[in-house]
Amino acid sequence: MADITVTEHLLLHQKMTPQATGMFTGLLYDLILSGKTISRRINQAGLLDILGGTGEVNVQGENVQKMDAIANRILIYRMERSGAVCAMASEEEPELIRVGPEFPRGDYILIFDPLDGSSNIDVNVDVGTIFSLHRRAHGATGEVSLEEVLKPGTEQVAAGYILYGPSTMLVLSTGQGVHGFTLDPGVGEFLLSHPDIRIPEQGYIYSVNEGYREQWDAPAREAVEWFHTAKSSKGGAYSSRYVGSLVADFHRTLLYGGIYLYPPYSGKPDGKLRLMCEASPLAFLAEQAGGKASDGHGRILERVPATLHARTPLYIGSSRDVEAVETIYARHKNR
């Protein structure tokens, strides 16, 4: 395969991707530059005393890791200067971040989790940056309102994640399939390594934290029991795999198939994962790759967030595996 960079790939497909304008390409360049910077910091984490927590608690009620704060600052600094963004929302920030008049403003709204799975950095487990892009309504002017941001995932124009692991990968969709790019440290570019990723219709791995089993609702317990006994795509039993880093578990599911489950539980009756910066962008990728994403009752991408940090249950992966969970929820609802 020729060494095609992510920018070259985008330009080659520009005719099929209306949003791939010069502004969009510039935004992606700055987002990728942010990812490279974060990747370099993570690779040096054990040497620079940037492991562990800051002692602060974020808007989600979670302990902030040092790399959370660093990744958040890198993204905000770089993206507010990109000239392509008018507003941002970060998992680490309580309020909408509006780009001030001191910077040029564009048409895009960026929503991101700066470092998903950051609590795993101390043990050298894969982590990642998840992002979602919306485009402001044509002709809209003035300060961006919160209502302009609280949109369903169907209105995303692009979504993806940068995975920081044994290699650093960018997985991206602009609505024309899903493509993976691996960072070549020698040339400093993300090169196309996984063109047109497709999730198998059925998989052989289920991924869930079964430590919360006693706190799940009845359909969630039945769904996981179903994966204990059902026949997988390989004809045998499903295997259980759970990293505890959403982006790492989803990446495996995207490539191998199967399902990732995060049911609601007694401590989080609305679910734990953030709809806008985690579930929705990953749902966009799953559907573009031929899979599905559900909250147990319906399509994740059709959910309209009530707040900036709205939460949701998530069942995502191979279409048949997600449909099996939805069937169980529907059966319980009709009882």
Cβ-count burial 242-275 (b if 16+ within 10 Å, e if not):
bbebbbbbbbbbbbbbbbbbbbbbeeeeebbbbb
State residue 50's pLDDT score: 47
Chain center to CA of 230 = 28
Q: What is the pLDDT of residues 174-215, one digit of tens each?
A: 999 999 999 999 889 999 999 999 999 999 999 999 999 999
State residue 61's pLDDT score: 54
**What are the Cα distances from residue 82, in Å, to 6, 59, 109, 276?**
18, 26, 12, 22
Q: Please work out, in degrees rounded to the nearest 5, the angle formed at the alpha carbon of residue 68 by the alpha carbons of 79 and 125.
A: 120
The CATH number of 205-333, from 3.40.190.80, 3.40.50.720, 2.30.42.10, 3.30.390.10, is 3.40.190.80
Chain center to CA of 119 = 17
Determine the 3-state secondary structure of 295 from DSSP: coil
CA 194, CA 255: separation in Å to the nearest integer?
10
State residue 145's pLDDT score: 95
Determine the 3-state secondary structure of 331 from DSSP: helix
Concatenating the DSSP letter of every residue in 180-245 gives EEEEETTTTEEEEEE-S----SS-SEEE--GGGGGGB-HHHHHHHHHHHHSB-TTSSBPEE---S-
CA 93, CA 293: separation in Å to the nearest integer?
26
Output the CATH code of domain 6-194: 3.30.540.10
Q: What is the pLDDT of residues 298-327, one digit of tens each?
A: 999 999 999 999 999 999 999 999 999 999
Main-chain phi, psi angles of 7, to 5 degrees: -65, -45
User: Closest Cα partner for 116 from 216, 28, 245, 203?
Assistant: 245
- 205-333: same fold as 6-194? no
Please say whether the beta carbons of 227 and 242 come within 8 A. Answer: no
State residue 45's pLDDT score: 60
State residue 7's pLDDT score: 87
Domain ranges, ordered by start, for the chain: 6-194, 205-333
Q: Please work out, in degrees rounded to the nearest 5, the angle formed at the alpha carbon of residue 100 by the alpha carbons of 98 and 102.
A: 160
Contacts of 234 (CB under 8 A, 6+ apart): 204
State residue 57's pLDDT score: 52
Residues (pLDDT < 50) of the chain are: 47-48, 50-55, 63
State residue 47's pLDDT score: 45
